[in-house]
Amino acid sequence: MPRLVTLAAAQLGPIQKAEGRDVAVGRMVRLMERAHKRGVEVVVFPELALTTFFPRWYEEDISRADHWYEHAMPSNETAPLFEAARKYGIGFHLGYAEKTPDGHRYNTAIYVHPSGEVVLKYRKVHLPGHRDFDPIRKVQHLEKRYFEVGNLGFPVIRAPVGGQEANIGMMICNDRRWPEAWREMGLQQVEIVMLGYNTPSLNMDNRGFEAHHLRVEHSHLSIRSGCYQNACFGVATAKGGTEDGHELFGHSIIVNPQGEIMAQATSWGDELITADCDLDDCNLGRTTIFNFAAHRRTEAYQRITTQTGSEAPPVWKPGQG
Ligand code: CDT
């Protein structure tokens, strides 16, 4: 008997700076309604799904940025998502900016069971960009200003997903580019990685040339290799389109444990892509080429956890053997 679950990436088109949460939540509820009609059991929404991608906007006094954060989950504004989950019997993944009661700020994602209970929370570990205004950049990317590094590690939990029990984990946007994040979850036998992202179509660092077409390629490459090397499914959901003149590239995908793209968004707007996923497909990789217990060699991996930056290698000299 296959362990089938129907998963969806619920891509969101742009959310403008002036738009309130009610606009985003209304669109998300409509996507959940469509998901229900298509037999979907879990929808994955993007990173920072309730607002525009606000880390592009510099605020000298961070307390003046408080309106971008959720101070409670659910809240009056996000309650319709939880109601839709109950009504349609759908679990959902939501990315949002979290401000805790004791004043900490995180880039956070939760997975919510159809009952409305939060099953799993993750706080983004790899925060890209910078803390202070950077005059060289074409557009600011101030995640290091607005968020602390996540303090929950990369948790995986076994929980009901549709009609199945599944090992689920989460990462957020830039995390997908780091093999360490995938492997942390692979080592916990993750079967479904849910991940949301907001990625500009162009390199805004202004520090060198990057061909435009490679932006999507690098995103897909990272997700496909993460899924393949850790024998898991990935549901990677973008925010796409143009937010106040700033373009995000969309291209949401669902990937299987062979690293194949099962479904891909073709618009840069609100779009639902779905895939029927047999969780037992994780077994092949996990018991053969990526049987970690049989083949990993931790004694050769010391640098991975003891060294952060790269170091130049010794220089070979003729005659040294
Ligand atoms: N949101 C996010 O993490 N975006 C980054 C853009 C990096 S540019 C500073 C990403 O890795 O897609």
Per-residue pLDDT of the chain (321 residues; tens, 9 = 90+): 899 999 999 999 999 999 999 999 999 999 999 999 999 999 999 999 999 999 999 999 999 999 999 999 999 999 999 999 999 999 999 999 999 999 999 999 999 999 999 999 999 999 999 999 999 999 999 999 999 999 999 999 999 999 999 999 999 999 999 999 999 999 999 999 999 999 999 998 988 889 989 999 999 999 999 999 999 999 999 999 999 999 999 999 999 999 999 999 999 999 999 999 999 999 999 999 999 999 999 999 999 999 999 999 999 999 987
Tell me, using a 6 A CB cutoff, whether residue 129 lines ligand 1.
yes
Residue owning tokens 């790269």: 310
Residue 291 to residues 182, 189, 232, 281, 287, Cα–Cα distance (Å): 15, 11, 13, 14, 5
- Architecture per CATH, domain 4-306, reads as 4-Layer Sandwich (3.60)
Q: Ligand 1, residue 129: give the atom nearest the CA.
A: 9
β-pairing, 4-11 vs 42-44, is parallel
Measure the CA–CA gap between 133 and 127, rounded to whole angstroms: 16
β-pairing, 91-99 vs 42-44, is parallel
Do 88 and 95 touch, CB atoms closer than 8 A? no
Q: What is the pLDDT of residue 137?
A: 94
Measure the CA–CA gap between 112 and 268, rounded to whole angstroms: 25
Q: What is the pLDDT of residue 60?
A: 96
Do 52 and 21 touch, CB atoms closer than 8 A? no
Do 70 and 98 touch, CB atoms closer than 8 A? yes
Tell me, using a 6 A CB cutoff, whether residue 251 lines ligand 1.
no
Q: What is the pLDDT of residue 38?
A: 98
Q: What is the pLDDT of residue 320?
A: 86
Atom 6, ligand 1: residue with shortest CA distance: 199
Name 155's Cβ contacts closer than 8 Å, sequence gap at least 6.
120, 121, 122, 169, 188
User: How many CA atoms does the CB half-sphere of 13 hold within 13 Å?
Assistant: 12
Q: What is the pLDDT of residue 64?
A: 95
Choose one of 125, 144, 170, 199 to mutate for the ligand 1 pocket test, by most ligand atoms within 8 angstroms of C-beta: 199
Distance 120 CA to ligand 1 centre (A): 23
In the chain, where the domains are located: 4-306
Q: What is the pLDDT of residue 321?
A: 72
Quick check: is 124 catalytic?
Answer: yes
Which 8-state DSSP code applies to residue 163? T
Tell me, using a 6 A CB cutoff, whether residue 141 lines ligand 1.
yes
